Chain A
Amino acid sequence: MTKQDQRPMRLNPPAGLLINRSKPVHFAFEGKHYQGLEGDSIASALLANGRWLLSRSFKYHRPRGPLTMAGQDANTLVQVVGEPNVLADREPLTAGLQVRGQNYNGSLDHDKDAVFDRFGRFMPVGFYYRAFFKPTGAWHRWENIIRKKAGLGQADLNFVPQYHDKSYLFYDVVVVGSGPAGLSAALQVADLGGKVLLVEQQPLLGGALSYHRFDLEGSTADQLRLELVRRVTEHEAIDVLLNATCNGWFKDNYLPVIQGNRLYKIRAKECIVASGAFEQHVVFRNNDLPGIVLCSAVSRMMKHYALKPGQRAVVLTGNDEGYMTALDLDDNGIAVAAVIDMRPEPESAALIESLTLRNIPVKSGYVVFNALPGRGKKHVRAVDVRKIIGRGKVADNAEIIDCDLLTMTAGYLPCYQLLCQAGAQLTYDDLAAEFSLTKLPEHVHSAGSVNGIHSLESVLADGKRAAICALGNLQLTTELPGKVHCTRRPNYEWPIFEHPDGKDFVDFDEDLQVQDIVNATRLGYRDIQLVKRFSTVGMGPSQGRHSALPTARLVASVTNRTVSETGVTTARPPFVPEKLAYLAGRNFDPYRRTPMHYRHLQLGARMIPAGNWQRPGFYGLPADRDRCIQDESRQVRTKVGLIDIGTLGGIEVRGPDAAELLNRMYTLAFEKQPVGKTRYAVMTNEQGVVIDDGVCCRISAEHFYVTATTSGVVRVYRDMMKWNAQWRLDVDISNVTSAFTGVNLAGPDARRVLKKIIDDVGLNAASFPYLAYREGRVAGIPARLLRVGFVGELGYEIHVPALYGEALWDAIMEAGSEFAIKPFGVETQRLLRLEKGHFIISQDTDSMSHPGELSLEWAINRKKPFFVGRRSLDVVMARKQTRKLVGFSLPNDRSKPEEGHLVLEGNKISGHVTSCEYSSTIGSIIGMAFVGIRQCTPDTRVPIRVKNGEVVNATVVKLPFFDPENKRQEL
């Protein structure tokens, strides 16, 4: 009997909690059109059409169909347009959806690579470590072949990301999972005044209550679910997120919950994990055939989607739950050929009786030893049932039972991921053959079957207990939590039946059989982590949900250890695979623009990134770069230019200890700095390396305004805060970079331009000399004025509140129009300062540059007792120097060295070029470079290796190149 013979059909209501029978949805799978219903998942819609084969396995390309129906296995991974690796049993069906299978060669139904299934014995565990590398370099060729076979879905390299965002939520208690334990916990918390968020992965509340049968009559679950869900929905203190996955646990109950296209980041004072348990499969030959599913999966198929999963079923069980499944199947008109109970003696006479009444045979002490495939090996046709004669051992004589559906349960594994991420430990109880969780951290609680509690009353009580624990921490109750016991032991201790011909899968994702796990240990990989890494068990998409327990049992058994000692591998986030888009969100990339940004664009600026700012490089077309820079520089040298320096860092330091703080942070002394004066400020780190520089203005005795480099200010501010957390000086430090903006007005006509728009500050050389600081109103705008000379001309840095940036720019440009003022960009400024021999931190320095190498000895005050880096500097500066930053020049007709090119001394590297540009003012190529200490005296010829290996000889020049007496800036 094969599936395809059957008329696909749906069961009658009330089955089908999730589907809307009046809303058909059309979609395509593998190019063929199908009809499903609103509320279907891709997988349920395909099953309704009799389509079981959804995917091909990773290694052997075996046909695979749904296993869990809950998105907890890799068997349902399909591909939709633009998206690989979609879980078909989780993904809602939408109209017009184009779905394809993945990882096949040819077609999904006729996969040529299925031939690998027959060569399995040539591919033992870790086979790729044992071959493909001889002779040296052979792997390169083999890898190309093997690589093509690896991977699952196909990436769509042209996919355009859709909108995703993030939101923050805060709750007293977050309950993860809305099964009976979660519902009971949420209600208990809310009833006693806690604000609760209930997070449920499925589209409906109720968890197992929505599909599992809890009693012989099959009525309890529905009644209880309706009652609890009604109370939860009506409760004002409970918010519910459906279709939402709590996908990790991070420190201090920081919970990422994914719903729709949003990532909620939730802080919970208390977290109750009622995540349930994973039903476990039985290991026997061909246990991966389509048509072989977990009992919970078949219940979900029927109750949620009204699917009739087969005509004739066999139930394989190691506990009472399988009997419930048999009753459900029978109720829904599916013939149950047999219930195969692995236990020698069923525990409940009532269950046997109820099956007998329905003429369902029960075989105790038997197991399915082999599942027999139908034609084309695409569905289960019959099962080979044998008597169990020892642990994992069966008798020789077989009974063949025809069936087109095999449902199985070997027990449960707690859904431990979130709790283990929170620090809980898994321990194995040999008696119950079950893992349990211990050592939960504070403010994290677990409830229900994740705790190994399985009877409905106990689960409800356990939810309540967890709630009382949480409420106690919230001081909302003084009640003490009781103890909840449950004697139900659903785990069958050794559901592993190795077959001489293999294909008895432990891990479906990775196609790993019993022998693979055993052989990994025989090869010496005995630690569970080594078994994992060598065999790849648990490394697939379902991350060990089904393979962890059988692997632990097998490894424990063959290495003569207990399962507890063997353990399982570490649970890491995320819980289920999550789209990168959720984490990236809106891809907020904070590029910063100065207030004058749009003026630059209007003026045709070529914008370049500087730290996370955008700055004008020069004004003009990229192709005209060199000419623009020379023009702009000539403009500043001969007339007047304006540059936006709004990106410059600004830090305010106020308070009685302000000068002392600066004394300790910078290398010069600031105590005696007069009010109204600026002073150069160099900062070194603890290694004595120069890390930042700027200008320090004394506004009043206890108030300084310090500038810092564009990319360095964040670090400077952070360092100040960090140090002062230790020093406890009486100062207030604030980063005012974005509160202020500014321009530098520079050139011989700068004073005349400024004079037109300022009347409360005297500008002549005597009243506002070089290096002075003044405050006034420029074009009516309150401004801080610094007479400093980075570009080496008469100039004013004008700092104003950021709000006025554009108005300031406009006012100056207008005032300057009669002097033919022009804006200049950062690249021009770099040339101008190079002509003046000023270095730029991080361009002309590296993370080893100390003040001696930069000829900054003058900027170090050795009289003061301390500054950061002082101790290192004393050691470093006493040592023989090995290199120095110098100026060099080259005739214009030589190959221009580029920044980064090497300076040579003999055949050794002695340094590198840090800055280099042609200067029309000087009339030659000029630059700065680190050179060897024997090369640093002026007029030394230093070889520089430029492009294509050519070596040019530059001449060391004493800095600055331009206006050595500094007359122009002091005008």
Chain B
Amino acid sequence: MPFALLKFGINKNFPFERHADLQAPKALGSSYDVVIIGGGGHGVAAAYYLAKYHGITNVAVLEKGYLGGGNTGRNTAVIRSNYLTPEGVHFYTESVKLFTQLANEFDFNIMYSQRGQLTLAYTDAAVRAFRQRVEVNKHFGGHTELIGPTEIAELIPCLNMHPGQLSVQAGLWHKDGATARHDAVAWGYAKGATQRGVELHQLTEATDFIIKNGKVSGVITNRGTVHCGCVVQAVAGFSSLLAAKAGFRMPIVSYPLQAMVTLPVKPFLGPMVSSPAHHCYVQQTGRGEIVIGGGSDPYPLYSTRSTLDLKESLLASTLEIFPFMANFRLMRQWAGITDMTPDYSPVMGLSPVENYYLDAGWGTWGFKATPICGKTMAQLVASGGKVPELIAPFSMDRFEVFRQVNEMGATAASH
């Protein structure tokens, strides 16, 4: 038993309040230097880095629901950097580096766990695409390799190598693939940010903006008007709706993404397994539950309802890969709203409104970018709008000039 736990046992009246992670609700102020809309991982991460590295603490994070209640708490917590484009590989590699240090930085265990991720190829087309990803990753020093059926069978002996009429041809083995407790990431950032003076306001919804001469100077909320020097928008599935309130359109369509979890069983599956051919990925959590996810629903929607059809097809796929799971029991299914861009890369940086910064278009891959995204958004805000090099490729105007950062192939059903 670690020493850190002794204090709880020794002191029967341990003063939990004094060690609170989150602070009690406060009155909303009338003015802040920075207002961040969206109290998910991204929003609080940006606030944290603003306070930590730039000394900007007069910051309010506005969250319409509860901390981390959107996609931060709904994703399947996959962290990886085995993308296809140089821009993507660079960006996500930085994110993975930050993740490994977060627990000690926060003094709060986010349970970062490097398990490795295996993506399966059943066709020569998939092998081709994987080889390209491996080569790009290696080029930038990443730990990704193409492994054959024998190595795959050794790595995951319980995997069905011949599902239906397919046979596993190869696998994309990403050693750095990891998971973490998604909620804890948001809590850790919130803890660090609020300790440094940032205010987190839950149940506070931005309903409109004060914009004059193309420049934002305030946010109208359900709890009153807040004046501000600048706004950071980090609202994931609702990005296009909030942008509309600020008066501009985004190249984003929002789709529900569903996931599900079984009753816990004793650990048997270390790596995370993903099969794009089956639109399905599977991993076992620290609690022993099997988390199963797949592709987005086929039509745009802002509702987080669950559907039977998706559950049926996703679980049929799961049993193709792991037939013995037929007797596992599904406990819960849920959904999040994903803000998809045409090139499956995010939109970060400036917007058509002055002092209004964008952190959006995170579709199905936002969690893994939380640290680096927060860090670069903080740089952007602190510099008064100088776009950091790392996120320059993700500017919104890339779609107008056809400079997309295409990550479609490296994104589909691979989380």
Residues of A within 8 A of B (CB): 77, 82-85, 119, 121-124, 127-137, 139-140, 142-143, 146-148, 150-162, 164, 248, 250-251, 254, 256, 265, 421, 519, 522-527, 529-530, 533-534, 541, 543, 570, 572-574, 577-581, 583-585, 587-589, 591, 608-610, 614, 687-688, 842-843, 846-848, 872, 875-876, 879, 898-902, 909, 912, 914, 945
Residues of B within 8 A of A (CB): 1-6, 8-9, 12, 14, 16-17, 19-25, 65-69, 73, 86, 100-101, 103-104, 108-114, 122-125, 127-136, 139, 157-158, 163-166, 181, 183-184, 187, 202, 262-268, 286-288, 305-308, 311-312, 315-316, 318-320, 323-334, 342-343, 401-402, 404, 406, 408-409
Q: Complex: how many Å from CA A587 to CA B103?
A: 42
In the complex, which of the residues B139, B315, B324 contacts A155, with contact meaning CB atoms closer than 8 Å?
B324
Task: For residue A95, give the distance in angstroms from its CB to the closest CB of chain B.
Answer: 20
In the complex, which of the residues A154, A157, A848, A900 contacts B404, with contact meaning CB atoms closer than 8 Å?
A848
Q: Which A residues touch B328, using CB under 8 A?
A: 84-85, 155, 579-580
Contact flag A119-B331 (CB < 8 Å), given A583-B316, A589-B164:
no
Can you show 20 pairs from A to B with CB atoms below 8 A apart? A130-B109, A152-B264, A154-B266, A157-B157, A157-B158, A579-B328, A580-B315, A580-B325, A584-B315, A584-B316, A608-B123, A609-B123, A609-B166, A843-B125, A847-B343, A848-B343, A899-B127, A900-B133, A902-B132, A912-B132
Task: For residue A187, give the distance in angstroms from its CB to the closest CB of chain B.
Answer: 29
Task: For residue B63, give the distance in angstroms from its CB to the closest CB of chain A.
Answer: 10
Contact B265 A124 (CB under 8 A): no
Q: Which A residues touch B263, using CB under 8 A?
A: 77, 84-85, 152-153, 541, 577
Task: For residue B125, give the distance in angstroms from its CB to the closest CB of chain A.
Answer: 6
Residue of A nearest to B261 (CB): A539
Contact flag A945-B266 (CB < 8 Å), given A128-B111, A136-B101, A251-B305:
no
Q: Which B residues touch A161, using CB under 8 A?
A: 319, 323-324, 326-327
Contact B265 A151 (CB under 8 A): yes
Q: Complex: how many Å from CA A133 to CA B188?
A: 13
Task: For residue B205, give the distance in angstroms from its CB to the closest CB of chain A.
Answer: 15
Contact A122 B262 (CB under 8 A): no
Contact flag A583-B334 (CB < 8 Å), given A529-B69, A843-B128, A898-B131:
no
Q: Which A residues touch B184, using CB under 8 A?
A: 129
In the complex, which of the residues A135, A148, A159, A421 contacts B324, with contact meaning CB atoms closer than 8 Å?
A159
Task: For residue A163, give the distance in angstroms from its CB to the closest CB of chain B.
Answer: 10
Q: Which A residues touch B158, using CB under 8 A?
A: 157
Contact B202 A574 (CB under 8 A): no
Contact B183 A543 (CB under 8 A): no
Contact A131 B320 (CB under 8 A): no
Q: Which A residues touch B133, using CB under 8 A?
A: 900
Q: Which B residues touch A898, using CB under 8 A?
A: 131
Contact B16 A523 (CB under 8 A): yes
Q: Which A residues touch B16, using CB under 8 A?
A: 124, 519, 522-523
Task: For residue B406, give the distance in angstroms from its CB to the closest CB of chain A.
Answer: 5
Contact A162 B326 (CB under 8 A): yes
Contact flag A578-B268 (CB < 8 Å), given A85-B263, A609-B165:
no
Q: Which A residues touch B163, using CB under 8 A?
A: 589
In the complex, which of the residues A139, A525, A526, A901 contacts B113, with contact meaning CB atoms closer than 8 Å?
A139
Contact A151 B308 (CB under 8 A): no
Q: Complex: how many Å from CA A131 to CA B107?
A: 8
Q: Which B residues touch A847, using CB under 8 A?
A: 343, 406, 408-409
20 further interface pairs, Cβ-Cβ under 8 Å (given A127-B5, A589-B320): A83-B327, A131-B5, A132-B2, A135-B104, A139-B113, A147-B288, A151-B267, A151-B288, A152-B265, A157-B324, A159-B323, A519-B16, A523-B17, A533-B68, A577-B330, A577-B331, A579-B328, A580-B328, A583-B316, A872-B402
Residue of B nearest to A530 (CB): B66
Residue of A nearest to B334 (CB): A572
Q: Which A residues touch B1, using CB under 8 A?
A: 119, 122
Greatest chain A CB density within 10 A among B181, B316, B319, B326 is at B326
Q: Which B residues touch A146, using CB under 8 A?
A: 286
Contact flag A591-B164 (CB < 8 Å), given A131-B109, A579-B326:
yes
Contact B318 A846 (CB under 8 A): no
In the complex, which of the residues A84, A119, A121, A140 contacts B327, with contact meaning CB atoms closer than 8 Å?
A84
Contact flag A541-B331 (CB < 8 Å), given A157-B268, A533-B73:
yes
In the complex, which of the residues B9, B21, B109 contacts A128, with contact meaning CB atoms closer than 8 Å?
B109
Q: Which A residues touch B342, using CB under 8 A?
A: 687
Q: Which B residues touch A77, using CB under 8 A?
A: 263
In the complex, which of the residues B127, B264, B331 contacts A150, with contact meaning CB atoms closer than 8 Å?
B264
Q: Which B residues touch A139, using CB under 8 A?
A: 103, 109, 111-113
Contact flag A152-B109 (CB < 8 Å), given A159-B324, A522-B16:
no
In the complex, which of the residues A85, A688, A901, A902 contacts B329, with contact meaning CB atoms closer than 8 Å?
A85
Task: For residue A370, give the distance in angstroms from its CB to the closest CB of chain B.
Answer: 18
Contact A151 B22 (CB under 8 A): no
Q: Which B residues touch A154, using CB under 8 A?
A: 265-266
